[in-house]
Amino acid sequence: MPSLPKQMLLFAALLIVLGLGAFLASGSQTALMPAYPGVVLAILGGLAIAFEGGRRHLMHAAAVVALLGALAPAAALGIRAAQMSPLALTVNLGMLALCGGLLILMVRSFIAARRAT
């Protein structure tokens, strides 16, 4: 199984592709929303791979980004899911699934690391 920073890079790439694809399909600047946490996660993942000494701190910062990346679409869906276009609904659900899935992987990894010490 790949290391968590490498998995995070995969999730970051998927978020960026989701945002760019939605932007190309709609032309709306707000369609890029998944790409923003994707870029931040990619940067943090790259830094975590490069600087093993600071990996723990970088991964915790990435967990905060993933949490916020899951909360934003969850709030939007809770408030106005019925008024969303099919594309907006798909993008919000995709961002929620990707950020939420990454956050679950990270929490499991943090728990396993804590138990190993």
Q: Tens digits of per-residue pLDDT, 85-110?
A: 999 999 999 999 999 999 999 999 99
Does 1 have pLDDT greater than 70? no
The Cα–Cα gap between 10 and 3 comes to: 11
The Cα–Cα gap between 94 and 109 comes to: 22
Structural domain boundaries, residue 111? 4-116
Domains in the chain, number: 1
The stretch 13-22 carries a mean pLDDT of: 98
Calculate the average pLDDT of the chain.
96
| Banded pLDDT at 117 (limits 50, 70, 90) | confident
pLDDT for res 61: 98
pLDDT > 90 fraction of the chain, expressed in percent and rounded? 95
pLDDT for res 47: 97
In this structure, the number of other CB atoms found within 10 A of the CB of residue 55 comes to 17
List pLDDT tens digits, range 55-86: 999 999 999 999 999 999 999 999 999 999 99
